[in-house]
DNA sequence: CTATGGCACGGATT
DNA sequence: AATCCGTGCCATAG
């Protein structure tokens, strides 16, 4: 049983339905691969360089978005403008690499780890360093670790070791963080370095990794404590942190849904699927929501192919026909994906507008089911659309789309604020009282859970000074 | 005795 | 149907 969408595009066949669902749950990057794969194997599908604005159907200039899109609702600054934004090269910060759009020759099928990483870092690399990066990336083992020595690379390219090191350090900071390290140890250290930018790292974490890997892997905590001259408690903290936040084998966190608690640095390196900004970057203007279509041009069924099929010899007719159907199915499904995403974001952004503008503590309680009712689609449709997508906010941060549906993110943000402003460490029950004053009624036990989620230590281990937010 | 984490239960969400 | 989340109860550490 499924609900029929209430508009012109309705799923007619089970194939259509199935493909709509898979496309919907894809990220922009995965969608790009899908399209490229189909494009290179299916002659019935073509891409034309013309771009039309999906909302007003006007022809767009070769670069940039449709300035006219705002026309229908330009005077209503409460309602966001949502549109599909076709782009070949999309980077998280549009102001950075605009002039040198990276030209990457891409293997047509399935983005393996090397390709995935290479795409991320290509803009950061000097032209002449790219072959080095490519060389290194092809020598990754199954765990995402480097299986070639620096010196070997140096000899291969006849360059200074420092240059190789430099390229490698860029690779290691790409997602999945730590790829291209030469040992699990090194990978962990890189991850810590990045996480330290906006998270608290427990004492002894680094020491454990540097000197106690063997004991760590055997869970000999007391011996670790002894060796490092620390209390077992602190060691426990650190070990827990390591197992919850770090990953010695970078490739394993790769495609598997990054199920980390929100706002960890790891996600910063993913490209967003949706970009929210103010119109013309002016805070007084309404919000503009771009849903990224990772292709430059318009995808359509080749009209010549459609005509030619009549004259083709009967032998090949079946093959041609199936190509044609596949092509038109893909086009339809993509349209439908866009349509759903557009309507979804329209709702979400207008509901969570305050949170987007003012910060996460103003997030409203929102469930996928609620949206599903309003849009008259099945709950699972929304689920798929929301999962594994990321949004870039006006302030440049990239967060998972699901955080707009996070029941407790607002409360956790307030909790973090309270703790970062505290003059002396407060116990969980004290915090619970303060939270209640702020309008967040939560049990003491829940405060403890939130703390854990945010990686904040309990009161008696907390230092009053210097707590990085 | 207080603060905190583990376990498990029930209701909501997906 | 499976999973997630807030909460209460209890054990344990300090």
Closest CA to A81 of A279, A272, A274, A273: A279
Is A243's CB less than 7 Å from nucleic acid strand C? Answer: no
One domain, residues A85 and A156: no
Is A449's CB less than 7 Å from nucleic acid strand C? Answer: yes
Q: Is residue A3 part of a domain?
A: no
Do the Cβ atoms of A136 and A148 come closer than 8 Å? yes
For residue A65, what are its two tokens? Answer: 């978005």
One domain, residues A304 and A396: yes
Query: How many whole angstroms separate alpha carbon A100 and alpha carbon A366?
Result: 40
Closest CA to A458 of A449, A206, A225, A443: A449
The pLDDT score that the predictor gives to residue A445 is 94
Q: Give bridge partners of residue A59 from the DSSP assignment.
A: A52
A455 CA → C2 C1’, Å: 27
pTM of the model: 0.63
The pLDDT score that the predictor gives to residue A106 is 29
A458 CA → B5 C1’, Å: 10
One domain, residues A110 and A241: yes
- Nucleotide whose C1' lies closest to the alpha carbon of residue A232: C13
One domain, residues A317 and A449: no
One domain, residues A436 and A327: no
Q: Is residue A144 part of a domain?
A: yes
One domain, residues A350 and A297: yes
A442 CA → C6 C1’, Å: 8
Three-class secondary structure of residue A47 per DSSP: strand
One domain, residues A358 and A423: no
Is A443's CB less than 7 Å from nucleic acid strand C? Answer: yes
Is A415's CB less than 7 Å from nucleic acid strand C? Answer: no
One domain, residues A304 and A358: yes
Sheet holding A287-293, edge to edge: A81-86, A287-293, A274-278, A390-392, A398-400
The pLDDT score that the predictor gives to residue A264 is 32
- Domain range enclosing A82: 14-89+271-404
Query: Which CATH number does the domain housing residue A416 bear?
Result: 1.10.10.60
Is A403's CB less than 7 Å from nucleic acid strand C? Answer: no
Angle between the N-to-C axes of helices A314-351 and A368-375, in degrees from 0 to 180, rounded to the nearest 10: 120
Query: How many whole angstroms separate alpha carbon A296 and alpha carbon A105?
Result: 15
Q: Is residue A294 part of a domain?
A: yes
The pLDDT score that the predictor gives to residue A244 is 63
Q: Is residue A98 part of a domain?
A: no
The pLDDT score that the predictor gives to residue A469 is 34
What is the domain count for chain A?
A: 3
One domain, residues A338 and A233: no
Is A442's CB less than 7 Å from nucleic acid strand C? Answer: yes
Q: Is residue A22 part of a domain?
A: yes
- Nucleotide whose C1' lies closest to the alpha carbon of residue A460: B3
Q: Given A212, A233, A262, which residue is the final one in a domain? A: A262
Do the Cβ atoms of A365 and A407 come closer than 8 Å? yes
A151 CA → B10 C1’, Å: 60
Q: Which uninterrupted H or E stretch holds A123?
A: none
Residue labelled with tokens 């803009």: A123
Stretches in chain A below the pLDDT threshold 50: 1-8, 72-74, 90-111, 253-269, 464-469
Q: Is residue A129 part of a domain?
A: yes
Residues with CB under 7 A from strand B: A 367-369, 379-380, 383, 405, 407, 427-430, 444-445, 448, 451-452, 457-460
Do the Cβ atoms of A51 and A298 come closer than 8 Å? yes
Q: Given A262, A297, A319, which residue is the final one in a domain? A: A262
Task: Say how many CA atoms lie within 13 Å of A360 toward its Cβ.
Answer: 25
The string of pLDDT tens digits covering residues A338-387 is: 889 989 999 999 999 999 998 888 999 999 999 999 999 999 999 999 98
Q: Is residue A7 part of a domain?
A: no
Give one word for A79, left, alpha or beta, with left for phi > 0 and alpha for psi -120 to 50. beta
User: What DSSP line would sit under A92-122, residue for residue?
Assistant: SSTTTSSSS-------SS---HHHHHHHHHG
One domain, residues A132 and A172: yes
The string of pLDDT tens digits covering residues A9-54 is: 555 677 788 888 889 988 887 888 888 888 888 989 988 876 666 6
Is A332's CB less than 7 Å from nucleic acid strand C? Answer: no
Give rounded-to-5 percent helix, strand, coil for chain A: 50, 10, 40
The pLDDT score that the predictor gives to residue A428 is 93
Is A446's CB less than 7 Å from nucleic acid strand C? Answer: yes
A416 CA → B7 C1’, Å: 26
Closest CA to A182 of A218, A150, A211: A150
Q: Is residue A298 part of a domain?
A: yes
The pLDDT score that the predictor gives to residue A256 is 31
One domain, residues A417 and A389: no
The b/e string for A126-136 (b: 16+ C-beta within 10 A; e otherwise) is eeebbebbbbb
Q: Given A242, A262, A282, which residue is the final one in a domain? A: A262
Is A408's CB less than 7 Å from nucleic acid strand C? Answer: yes
- Nucleotide whose C1' lies closest to the alpha carbon of residue A452: B5
One domain, residues A294 and A437: no
- Nucleotide whose C1' lies closest to the alpha carbon of residue A427: B3
Do the Cβ atoms of A342 and A385 come closer than 8 Å? no
Query: How many whole angstroms separate alpha carbon A397 and alpha carbon A231?
Result: 37
The pLDDT score that the predictor gives to residue A457 is 81
In this complex, the residue with its CA at the shortest distance from the C1' of nucleotide C9 is: A445
A430 CA → C10 C1’, Å: 21
Do the Cβ atoms of A368 and A379 come closer than 8 Å? yes
């Amino acid at each position: 049983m499924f609900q029929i969408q209430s508009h012109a595009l309705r799923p007619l066949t089970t194939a259509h339905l199935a493909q709509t669902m898979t496309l919907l749950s894809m990220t922009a990057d995965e969608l790009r691969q899908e399209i490229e794969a189909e494009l290179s194997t299916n002659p019935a599908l073509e891409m034309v360089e013309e771009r039309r604005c999906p909302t007003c159907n006007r022809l767009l200039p070769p670069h940039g978005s449709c300035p006219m899109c705002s026309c229908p609702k330009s005077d209503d600054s409460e309602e966001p403008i949502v549109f599909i934004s076709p782009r070949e090269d999309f980077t998280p910060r549009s102001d950075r690499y605009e002039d040198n759009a990276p030209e990457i020759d891409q293997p047509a099928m399935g983005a393996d780890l090397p390709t995935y990483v290479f795409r991320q870092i290509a803009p950061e690399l000097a032209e002449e360093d790219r072959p080095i990066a490519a060389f290194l990336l092809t020598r990754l083992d199954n765990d995402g670790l480097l299986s070639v020595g620096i010196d070997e690379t140096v000899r291969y390219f006849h360059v200074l070791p420092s240059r190789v090191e430099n390229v490698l350090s860029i690779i290691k900071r790409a997602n999945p963080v730590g790829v291209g390290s030469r040992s699990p140890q090194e990978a962990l250290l890189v991850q810590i370095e990045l996480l330290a930018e906006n998270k608290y790292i427990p004492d002894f974490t680094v020491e454990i990794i540097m000197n106690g890997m063997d004991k760590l892997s055997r869970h000999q905590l007391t011996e670790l404590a002894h060796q490092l001259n620390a209390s077992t408690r602190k060691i426990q903290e650190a070990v827990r942190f390591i197992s919850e936040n770090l990953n010695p084998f970078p490739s394993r966190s790769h495609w598997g849904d990054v199920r980390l608690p929100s706002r960890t640095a790891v996600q910063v390196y993913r490209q967003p699927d949706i970009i929210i900004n103010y119109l013309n970057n002016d805070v007084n203007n309404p919000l503009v929501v771009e849903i990224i279509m990772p292709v430059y041009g318009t995808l359509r069924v080749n009209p010549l192919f459609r005509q030619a099929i009549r004259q083709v010899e009967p032998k090949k007719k079946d093959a041609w026909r199936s190509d044609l159907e596949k092509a038109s199915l893909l086009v339809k499904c993509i349209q439908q994906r866009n349509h759903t995403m557009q309507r979804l974001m329209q709702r979400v952004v207008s509901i969570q507008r305050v949170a987007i503008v003012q910060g996460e503590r103003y997030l409203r309680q929102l469930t996928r089911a609620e949206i599903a009712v309003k849009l008259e689609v099945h709950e699972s449709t929304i689920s798929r659309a929301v999962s594994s997508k990321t949004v870039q906010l006006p302030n440049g941060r990239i967060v998972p789309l699901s955080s707009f549906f996070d029941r407790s993110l607002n409360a956790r943000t307030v909790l973090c604020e309270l703790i970062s402003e505290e003059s002396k460490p407060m116990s969980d029950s004290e915090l619970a009282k303060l939270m209640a004053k702020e309008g967040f009624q939560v049990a003491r036990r829940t405060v403890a859970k939130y703390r854990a989620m945010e990686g904040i230590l309990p009161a008696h281990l907390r230092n009053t000074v210097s707590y990085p937010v």
